[in-house]
Chain A
Amino acid sequence: DAKTTQPPSMDCAEGRAANLPCNHSTISGNEYVYWYRQIHSQGPQYIIHGLKNNETNEMASLIITEDRKSSTLILPHATLRDTAVYYCIVRVLITQGGSEKLVFGKGTKLTVNP
């Protein structure tokens, strides 16, 4: 299984951009990078995913390096409600054409400070 490495914790000032790094040096060519976040005692919330191009949606931007060995999740204007654990995950295909298995690490605890 491809693994990811994230810093255990990060701090960010409210209103500033939060840049969360992730290393996935063993990623395969057809594996997507997913980002989820989890607020305490709730289920993880999907944020964004990508294969090799940069992606943007209403929540965040995902920047993937050209060699695909690392990526960065960007929250452009962090708010206090963005305080959560952020998981960077590489999708592992279980069977041909079947469902993916998401292997979760411990993630990065992001604290947004007022």
Chain B
Amino acid sequence: DGGITQSPKYLFRKEGQNVTLSCEQNLNHDAMYWYRQDPGQGLRLIYYSQIVNDFQKGDIAEGYSVSREKKESFPLTVTSAQKNPTAFYLCASSIGGGNSPLHFGNGTRLTVT
């Protein structure tokens, strides 16, 4: 089955540690995205990538980093510089270009204590 896989579903870390969230897609999509969701809120864009080896900052990129070395993979690192890292993180992909829906994974819930 084609889709987007995020792992793990739940992640716990101590404050001050970097943590990397995995996102893999087998939809052959060019574009990939990372969103963050806080309780009762909508989604906010962290980073996006339109093509391999290229990525751009979204609205709330501070404290995060990404890489796009392979088309199917777009890992997100939450660094110790992120002041409020506890959140629900969603990865998405799309064919790219205009008029193409995003397909989302089922998210990773990160808790930092």
Contacts and interface: CB of A to CB of B under 8 A. Distances in A.
Interface of A: 30, 32, 34, 41-46, 49, 51, 87, 91, 93-95, 97-107
Interface of B: 4, 6, 30-31, 33, 35, 40-45, 48, 50, 56, 58, 88, 90, 92, 94, 96-107, 109
Q: Is the interface of A mostly helix, strand, loop or mixed?
A: loop
A45 B3 CA distance: 12
Q: Which 5 A-B pairs have the closest CB atoms?
A: A43-B104, A104-B42, A104-B43, A99-B31, A46-B101
Given A44-B102, A99-B97, 12 more contacts: A30-B98, A43-B6, A46-B102, A94-B56, A97-B97, A97-B98, A98-B50, A101-B48, A104-B35, A104-B42, A105-B42, A106-B40
A4 B97 CA distance: 22
Nearest to A32: B99
Nearest to A48: B101
B103 A100 contact: no
Choose among A43, A102, A103 the residue with the greatest number of B CB atoms under 10 Å from its CB.
A43
Contact of B48 (A46, A87, A99): A99
Contacts of B96: 98-99
B101 A106 contact: no
B102 to A, nearest CB: 6
B106 to A, nearest CB: 5
A101 B97 CA distance: 11
Nearest to A97: B97
A91 B31 CA distance: 15
Contacts of A34: 101
Contacts of A105: 42
A107 B37 CA distance: 13
A44 B43 contact: yes
Contacts of B105: 43
Contacts of B106: 42-43
A32 B98 CA distance: 9
A91 B48 CA distance: 15
19 contacts: A32-B99, A42-B106, A43-B4, A43-B90, A43-B105, A44-B90, A44-B104, A93-B98, A94-B48, A94-B56, A97-B98, A99-B30, A99-B96, A99-B97, A100-B100, A101-B48, A102-B43, A104-B43, A106-B40
